[in-house]
Structure 1
Amino acid sequence: MEWAIKSSQIVFPDEVKSGYLVISNERIQGFYSSYQGKIIDYTDQIIMPGFIDIHIHGWGRGSFSHKGSSGALSRMSKDLVHTGTTAYLATSGAMANDFLEYSLAQAADYIESATPDNGAEVVGIHMEGPYINSEYLGMQSADSLQLLSISGFDKFNQIARGHIRSMTLAPELEGGLELTKYLRKQNITVAAGHTAATFDEITRAIKEADLNHFTHSYSAMRGFHHRELGVVGALMYYQDVFAEVAKQTGITIKPEAFDILYRLKTDNKMVLTTDCVGFADFPAGSEFYHYLRKQKFKTQENGYLRLENSDGSYSEIDTSNYEAIKNLEMSFLESVQAVFPRLDNGLLSVARIASENPAYLAGISARKGSLNSGKDADILVLDNQLNLLQVYCRGIKQI
C-alpha cells in the first residue's frame, strides 16, 4: 500500500521542505512536490525522523536492565512511542553474569520476533559494562564487574546472536586497547564511560584503537583539570569523536555544561540520549536510592511503586498505569524541547543529534536516521511547540 504525508515542514538532513513524503511497504519511497493518491494532511505540522535512543535501560512500564526479559522490552517499545522514540538500543548494566547472559538471549529473541505493531524497534544491544572502572561506578554494581576479555565479549555476542552494537568500557583497564580495537574492527561503537582514564590514556584509545564515542558526558568519568585534562578534557578536545548527553533536566548536568559541549561538538558529533532505567519495572521488593533526586524507590508486592522523599513524605504509584508513571523520568522528547532554543540550526539540529548521529553509532544508518528515500518510515508529527501529535514506526500509526 502506498500513501503520502503532506506538510509544509518536512525535515530532511540539509533542509526543511514543503511537499509530499510518500510511504510504501513500511519504507519512505520518496519526496515529491505533488502527489495523486491517499494523503494524510499535516500541512501546518512538523514532520521529522523518529528519535533513536542508543542508551536506555528502561522506560515506562519496562526495565530491560533490571528484568532482562523480552516482556520488559515489549512494554518499553509500546511506551517509548509516546516520547517520540521509534528505535533504540536495549541497554544492559553491570549485573550478575547469569542474569546478563539471560538478558542478552532475551534481547536477541525479541529483536528477531518483534514487528512494527510492537512500537519502537529494538535495533540492537548496548552493553554498559561489565568492563568498567570501580572508581566511577555511578549507579552500577561493583560486585558484577569483570576483567576485560576478547573471549568474554565473544561469548556475550554469541549469546546475543551478533546483536551487540555498542559497548561502554573503561579503556585504561588492562586489555582495554586490545578489546577496543577488536570491537571497532567489527564496526561496534566503543564508548568511554565509567572511566578513570587520564587524558593521555584516552588519547591512545582514540588514536591507536579508534575509540569513537563517550557515554553520558561529564558523568561517571575523570573530570577536567587544567594540568590533567582527564576524560572530560579529551572528549572536548578531540573533535572527531561523538559525545552523548543524557536527560536535560538541569540535574544530571547544568544547561551551561550542555552548551559548552555543544559549542565544541556542534551538530556533527553531539548525541542526545536518555539513560532512563524504568523504575516502575524493578523486581518486587527492590529498593533503589537516587542520589541526585534524593529519593528512595521501593517496588511493592502489590504492584505499586513507593517514592520516599528526604523529608519523610512519600507517594505510591500504580506501575501498570503508563499515565501515572510517565513522569518518573524525563523523556527523550522533553530533553529535545529543553535544548531546542539553544541549538544552532533549529529542526535540522534536532534531526542530526536525535536521529542521524544515533543511527550512525548504532550501525543502522542504511535504514534509519533520516527521511531520505529507502529509509524506514519512522516518522514524528509535531506541532510548532514540539508537542507530539502522531508517531509512525515503519509506517504503522502508533498513537
Structure 2
Amino acid sequence: MSSLIITNGKILVGKEYVEGNLEIINGAISRIGDFQVDRNKLKVIDANGQVVVPGFIDIHTHGGNGIDINHASKDDLNKLSKFFASCGVTSFLPAILTDTHETMCKLLSEIADAKEEGTDGSEILGIHMEGPFLCVQYKGAMPEYLIQDSSIENIKDYINSSKNNIKYMTISPENKGVEELVAYLRENNIVASMGHTGADYNKCLSCINAGVTSSTHVFNAMGTLHQHRPSAIGAALESDIYSEIICDGFHLHPGIVRLIIKVKGDEKILAITDSIMAAGLSDGEYKLGVNDIVVKEGDAQLVSDGTRAGSTLTMDRALINLIKFTGRKLEDVIRFLTKNQANVLGLDNKGEIAVGKDGDIVILDNKLTPICTVVKGKIVYER
C-alpha cells in the first residue's frame, strides 16, 4: 500500500463535487478538501481541474486484451489487471465460465494464487463462478455437456481450490438441488445470483426468499417477460435483489436500461462488462472458455450458431453509455460501477471516496476517459 496526494481535483464525494486535494496514506483516504500540501513528503499528482471519481469495480468479466480467464496463468492475470486499470477498473472478480471439474479447480487455484501475490494493476477481489450449476435451455455460451446438477461435494471442491476466494456464483433456479446449494453458498459468504434460467416466476421468487441476492445480466439468457408468465425477469425486477446490466448497446436496448433502473432504483444496479478476451481489440476470431467466438462490428457471437457470447465492453465505455442511454449526470450513475458492487460483495472499504476508504481512485478527462488510475494509493495507470 502506498501514499500520495491528488491536487487541484474536482473530487466526487457522494453526489457532490469538492474542489481541492485528496490525500491517501498507507492505502487509505485520509483527507479531502482544501488543505496545505507538503510536496516534499508525498508523491503529488496534479489533477489539473479534472474529475476524480471512485475506481470502477467489475464483478463479471471473462477477460480482455487477448486474455481469456479460462486459459489464464498468473502472468496473464497480471497483464489483464493492467489492461483493466487503463479502463478505470481498480478491482474485479475474474469470472470462470463453465468448464470441466478439473479445469475449474485448477483455474480457481491459479486465480487465488494471483490474488494472494497481488497484481500490478487492478486488484483481484475474488472469483465469480458462472456455472456449472445452470440450465441447458438458457445456457447461452455455456457448453451444454459441462452443465451439472447442483452438488455440495463439488462446490466444496471449488471453495477449497479457491482458498475461500469464491465471492459470487451464478446459478439457475431450476437446477436440481438448488435450494440446498443456495443455503450452502450463504453459509460460506458467497453471493448467489440467478441467471441462465428458464425457471418460472414462482420458482425464482422461492430462490430469492431462500437467499439469492442478485440476477446475472438481467434480461439476457432468461425466459422472456410475459404478462401471464413473468419469468426470472419479473421476479428480478419486482424483488429487492441486485440486477447486473450489460450496457454495450447489443445486450439491452437503451429503453430497457432505463426501465430496469426506474424499476430497481439506483441502489440495486450493477453495471458489468461480461467482457471476453476481445475487449480492447479489433473484430476477429477469439475463444471464450471452450468456445470459438467471432466478433463482428464489436458484437461477440458463437461461431457455431451465432448466439451472443459475452461482450467487448470495457467499464469506462459502460459509464459513457449509461450517461448516453439515460441522459443522467456522472454523479447520478457512478454508483452503478462502484458503490453498488462494493455493497453486493459486502465490502465496506470500497466503492466511494470518503475518509477511511481504500484509496481506489480514477481521474477522468472531459470525455470521461481515464487518465490516471490509483489502487490503494499506488499509481497503476497513467495515460
Give TM-score scaled by structure 2 length.
0.88
Pair 371,141 (structure 1): closer, same or farther in 2 beyond 3 Å: same
**Cα distance in 1 for residues equivalent to 2:288 and 2:224:** 34
Pair 394,237 (structure 1): closer, same or farther in 2 beyond 3 Å: same
Question: For 1:213-228, what aligned pairs fall within 5 Å after superposition?
Answer: 213-228=214-229
Equivalent residue in structure 2 for 1:348, among 322, 327, 331: 331
Pair 107,156 (structure 1): closer, same or farther in 2 beyond 3 Å: same
Per the alignment, residue 54 of structure 1 pairs with 59
Question: For 1:11-160, what aligned pairs fall within 5 Å after superposition?
Answer: 11-38=12-39, 39-65=44-70, 67-115=71-119, 118-160=120-162
Per the alignment, residue 265 of structure 1 pairs with 264
1:387 is displaced (CA, Å) by 1.8
Question: For 1:292-303, what aligned pairs fall within 5 Å after superposition?
Answer: 293=299
Per the alignment, residue 211 of structure 2 pairs with 210
Which amino acid in 2 is paired with 1:259? Answer: R
Identity %: 27
Tell me the number of residue pairs that the alignment of Structure 1 and Structure 2 aligns: 364
Partner of 1:109, secondary structure, is helix
Pair 294,193 (structure 1): closer, same or farther in 2 beyond 3 Å: closer
What per-residue deviation string (whole Å, max 9, x for no partner) do you get for residues 254-282 of structure 1?
Answer: 11111110111221100100001114774
Quick check: 1:132–1:170 contact (8 Å CA) kept in 2? yes
Partner of 1:134, secondary structure, is coil
Quick check: 2:18–2:33 contact (8 Å CA) kept in 1? no
Quick check: 2:24–2:30 contact (8 Å CA) kept in 1? yes
**Greater shift in the superposed pair: 274-283 or 174-183:** 274-283
Equivalent residue in structure 1 for 2:188, among 186, 189, 198: 186
Quick check: 1:10–1:19 contact (8 Å CA) kept in 2? yes
Partner of 1:136, secondary structure, is coil
Question: For 1:170-185, what aligned pairs fall within 5 Å after superposition?
Answer: 170-185=172-187
Matched, 1:361 2:344: yes
1:80 is displaced (CA, Å) by 0.8
Question: For 1:306-385, what aligned pairs fall within 5 Å after superposition?
Answer: 329-343=312-326, 346-363=329-346, 365-385=347-367
What per-residue deviation string (whole Å, max 9, x for no partner) do you get for residues 191-221 of structure 1?
Answer: 10111111101111112x1211000111111
Give structure 2 stretches of 5+ with no counterpart: none
1:286 is displaced (CA, Å) by 7.3
1:144 is displaced (CA, Å) by 0.9
1:25 is displaced (CA, Å) by 1.6
**Cα distance in 1 for residues equivalent to 2:108 and 2:85:** 23
**Cα distance in 2 for residues equivalent to 1:94 and 1:201:** 23
Quick check: 1:13–1:351 contact (8 Å CA) kept in 2? no
Partner of 1:135, secondary structure, is coil
Pair 132,260 (structure 1): closer, same or farther in 2 beyond 3 Å: same
> How large is the RMSD of aligned CA atoms in angstroms?
2.5
Partner of 1:167, secondary structure, is strand
**Cα distance in 2 for residues equivalent to 1:216 and 1:177:** 21
Pair 282,193 (structure 1): closer, same or farther in 2 beyond 3 Å: same
Which amino acid in 2 is paired with 1:394? Answer: K
Quick check: 1:223–1:233 contact (8 Å CA) kept in 2? no
**Cα distance in 1 for residues equivalent to 2:301 and 2:266:** 34
Per the alignment, residue 254 of structure 2 pairs with 255
Quick check: 2:277–2:288 contact (8 Å CA) kept in 1? no
Partner of 2:265, secondary structure, is helix
1:234 is displaced (CA, Å) by 1.1
1:296 is displaced (CA, Å) by 7.1
**Cα distance in 1 for residues equivalent to 2:207 and 2:354:** 34
**Greater shift in the superposed pair: 181-190 or 50-59:** 181-190
Per the alignment, residue 276 of structure 1 pairs with 275
1:19 is displaced (CA, Å) by 2.4
Partner of 2:137, secondary structure, is helix
Quick check: 1:259–1:342 contact (8 Å CA) kept in 2? yes
Quick check: 1:129–1:145 contact (8 Å CA) kept in 2? yes
Pair 342,2 (structure 1): closer, same or farther in 2 beyond 3 Å: same
Which amino acid in 2 is paired with 1:267? Answer: D
